[in-house]
Amino acid sequence: MPIQSHLIFDFNMGPQAFVLCKCLIDNFTIHDGHVAIRGSTLDSVLFRVGVIAALRSKKLDGLAVGVMVTASHNPEQDNGVKVVDPRGEMLEGSWEAHATNLANAPTTDDFLAVLDTLIRTTKIDISKPARVVYARDTRPSGVALVAALEDGLSAIGAEGRNAGVTTTPILHYLVKAINTKNTPESYGDDSEEGYFQKLGTAFQNLVAGRPPLEALLIDCANGVGALAASTLTEYLDGSLSLILENASISTPGALNFACGADYVKTMQRLPPSLADRLKPGQRACSLDGDADRLMYYYLDERGIFHMLDGDKIAALVAAFIVDLVKSAGLENEVKVGVVQTAYANGASTKYLAGRLPVKCVATGVKHLHHAAEHFNIGVYFEANGHGTVLFSPSTQSKLALYQPSTPAQSTALKHLINLTQLINQTVGDALSDILLVEVVLAHKSYTGIEWDSLYVDLPNRLVKVVVNNRNAFRTENAERRLLSPPGLQSKIDELVRRYDGGRSFVRPSGTEDVVRVYAEAVVRSQADELAFRVAGLVYDAAGGDPSKRPKEFL
Ligand code: NG1
Ligand code: ZN
């Protein structure tokens, strides 16, 4: 059945995920990070994803591989697929090339021929078992896609486990829990219940004895987060009240529409549906369509919207963990670091860099996740609200064996150990991140206002420029400087110098056919002006028609 929608392959996933198709043909439009498919028969692609995931599992001796059908924060008519690797590594380049060929084979005969080559060249023992655990978000098109995926799994004789309608981070949890079952590294019971139990128990341990916080309002983006947040409530046992808004998962077209984390971050405003729901000073947050992004915010007494984005979450959480490490007497042994991208607000970088090591990496969760693994405790968040905290295996063992010498050290140690249970370390997880934020707020007795005042965001502006060939834009230094088109970077530098606190950079998007321009400055009007002027330079350098130059580009 042809489905008129977009299928998105996400290349920007964490190391747990790989993406199958880098250069698809005909119906497929390629955008580095994602591959969008318009008006194509998606069923055959999902069938092949099933086969590829099963082969990946066979190659890894039957370890479970995950497949998530979702298009995250994108509109409801889009859909996509992410494959979750059991070992938390990126797919080998050679294997990825074979997988690409498999997905692109024009006919069934070609498909079988490529399959045969893949099995031979990667030395897959086809008699090995294959296990694939899969799930989907609430998009209506997901039903047919999952059915096609199941056909692919049956065709190759893989054992499939349907995890139903759930969040991307829960699917990641399940993959890790299945593969570590009955081992010393057991990640938890391999069920949704195990996930909620793990988070709920750790949260209750962490807030025990603290005065309860005011209820938190959650904008569920009319997506699967509504189901998961509702179940989570049962496991919190009254330790935190959640008020679920935008929880209409069966209203056509409602998913991510004028709500959700991406809306809040992009528009820098409250979802209109919450306007008469939120009291001044009350904390609220938005999830995205698959619940792996989180934005907090509040309205002040004058009704002005204040956004607490991924950078503010990183600042809150990193400072808290550094304090706990110190209180536990472990500051010489456990080093905490933060990983950001160039999109992190300059004020957040300044705040964090005064307290702990901060590393800047290229956009894309895989870069952040890898860099965070180099710290004993690595905190990473994208400004858009995707992030988590990684405790290295040696740090986890150290915490388990450490003998505290005072009651205060013992308490801090217990908190750290509970944090390793509360945080979903496989991938950014909006629900786990909510609980993490709420723990810190409870410990610090902070409202949103105090949290917000850790530092003041520099006004910033993100602009898209549509160009003929965004591959003409090449970058260096964690995407902060342009190598080409020649001469453009020095023009940007010259412009930036004229703005107080000015910073701007240009990079090609990995997920859309545009070039992104980011700018910040001390004053809002200056940040806007700088962004539009740099966008104008980009437009000219890309050979745009001067008569069609967007008027806001000055
Ligand atoms: P691109 O399109 O490469 O800028 C966007 C986000 C990334 C990341 C990916 C999704 C911005 C500026 N960019 O990437 O942070 O979330 O989508 O994988 O938010
Ligand atoms: Zn998402």
Beta carbon of 475 within 6 Å of any ligand 1 atom: no
Q: Do 383 and 415 fall within a single domain?
A: yes
Q: Do 108 and 12 fall within a single domain?
A: yes
Q: Do 376 and 501 fall within a single domain?
A: no
Q: What is the pLDDT of residue 94?
A: 63
The preferred substitution site among 262, 263, 363, 514 for testing ligand 1, maximizing ligand atoms within 8 Å of CB, is 363
d(CA 290, CA 169): 8
Ligand 2 centre from 227 Cα, in Å?
15
- Binding residue positions for substrate: 382-384, 507-511, 516
**Neighbouring-strand partners of residue 272:** none
Beta carbon of 343 within 6 Å of any ligand 1 atom: yes
Q: Do 97 and 35 fall within a single domain?
A: yes
**Nearest 5 degrees, angle CA 224-CA 230-CA 236?**
135
The total of structural domains in the chain comes to 4
Residue 464 domain-assigned (yes or no)? yes
Ligand 1 atom with minimal separation from the 510 CA: 3
DSSP letters along 412-465, please? Answer: HHHHHHHHHHHS-TTS--HHHHHHHHHHHHHHHT--HHHHHTTSPPPPEEEEEE
Q: Which of 376, 410, 428 is the last residue of a domain?
A: 428
Beta carbon of 297 within 6 Å of any ligand 1 atom: no
Smallest-distance ligand from the CA of 506: 1
Smallest-distance ligand from the CA of 341: 1
Ligand 2 centre from 288 Cα, in Å?
5
Residue of the nearest CA to atom 11 in ligand 1? 384
CATH number at residue 65: 3.40.120.10
> Considering only CA atoms, which of 95, 23, 116, 24 is closest in space to residue 53?
95
d(CA 533, CA 170): 43
Q: Do 51 and 159 fall within a single domain?
A: yes
Beta carbon of 428 within 6 Å of any ligand 1 atom: no
Q: Which residues lie near ion ligand 2 (Cβ < 5 Å)?
A: 72, 288, 290, 292
Q: Quick check: is 72 catalytic?
A: yes
Q: What is the pLDDT of residue 34?
A: 37
Residue 384 domain-assigned (yes or no)? yes
The H-or-E segment that residue 84 falls in is strand 78-84
Beta carbon of 290 within 6 Å of any ligand 1 atom: no
Greatest Cα-to-Cα distance within the chain, rounded to the nearest angstrom: 73
Ligand 1 atom with minimal separation from the 12 CA: 18
Residue 452 domain-assigned (yes or no)? no
3-state secondary structure of 254: coil
Ligand 1 centre from 364 Cα, in Å?
6
3-state secondary structure of 540: helix
Ligand 1 atom with minimal separation from the 32 CA: 3
CATH number at residue 496: 3.30.310.50
Smallest-distance ligand from the CA of 427: 2
Ligand 1 atom with minimal separation from the 384 CA: 19
d(CA 553, CA 431): 39
Q: Do 400 and 480 fall within a single domain?
A: no
> Considering only CA atoms, which of 435, 488, 467 is closest in space to residue 204?
435
d(CA 443, CA 521): 33
Residue 127 domain-assigned (yes or no)? yes
Q: What is the pLDDT of residue 2?
A: 32
DSSP 249: T
Q: Which residues contact 260 (CB under 8 A, 6 or more apart)?
A: 73, 219, 221, 222, 223, 246, 271, 286, 287, 288, 289
Q: Do 16 and 148 fall within a single domain?
A: yes
Q: Which of 285, 306, 327 is the last residue of a domain?
A: 306
Residue type, 482: L
Q: What is the pLDDT of residue 95?
A: 65
Q: What is the pLDDT of residue 320?
A: 98
HSE of 449, CA atoms in CB hemisphere, 13 A? 9
**How far is the first Cα of the chain from the last one, in angstroms, to the nearest whole number?**
48
Residue type, 533: R
Residue 187 domain-assigned (yes or no)? no
Q: Do 211 and 99 fall within a single domain?
A: no
Ligand 1 atom with minimal separation from the 462 CA: 12
What averages of pLDDT result for each successive group of 10 residues across the chain (554 residues)?
Answer: 38 31 31 37 83 93 95 92 73 64 84 89 93 97 95 96 97 95 95 98 97 95 98 98 98 98 96 96 97 98 97 98 98 98 98 97 91 97 97 97 98 98 96 98 97 97 93 96 98 98 96 93 97 97 90 84
The preferred substitution site among 82, 427, 509 for testing ligand 1, maximizing ligand atoms within 8 Å of CB, is 509
* 29, 38 contact by CB (below 8 A): yes
Range of the domain at 503: 460-553
Q: How far is CA 397 from each of CA 99, 294, 402, rounded to the nearest angstrom?
A: 37, 30, 8
Catalytic annotation, pick one of 72, 141, 348, 504 = 72
Give the torsion through C-alpha atoms of 174, 175, 176, 180, to 10 deg: 100
Residue 185 domain-assigned (yes or no)? no
d(CA 498, CA 476): 23
> Considering only CA atoms, which of 207, 203, 204, 229 is closest in space to residue 217?
229
Peptide bond into 485 cis (omega under 30): yes
* 37, 28 contact by CB (below 8 A): yes
Q: Do 15 and 124 fall within a single domain?
A: yes
Q: Do 228 and 341 fall within a single domain?
A: no
Residue 435 domain-assigned (yes or no)? no
Q: What is the pLDDT of residue 43?
A: 80
Smallest-distance ligand from the CA of 293: 2
284-287 and 242-245 as β-strands: parallel, antiparallel, unpaired? unpaired
Beta carbon of 292 within 6 Å of any ligand 1 atom: no
Q: Do 13 and 147 fall within a single domain?
A: yes
Q: Residue 374 has which token pair?
A: 């180099």
d(CA 530, CA 528): 5
SS3 content of the chain, % helix, strand, coil (to 5): 40, 20, 40
Say if residue 268 is exposed, middle or buried (CB neighbours under 10 Å; 0-12, 13-18, 19+).
middle
Q: Do 13 and 155 fall within a single domain?
A: yes
pLDDT, tens digit, for every residue of 55-83? Answer: 999 999 999 999 999 999 999 999 988 88
Q: Residue 183 has which token pair?
A: 């081992």
Q: What is the pTM of this model?
A: 0.92
Residue 505 domain-assigned (yes or no)? yes
* 330, 415 contact by CB (below 8 A): no
Beta carbon of 460 within 6 Å of any ligand 1 atom: no
- Binding residue positions: 72, 288, 290, 292, 382-384, 507-511, 516
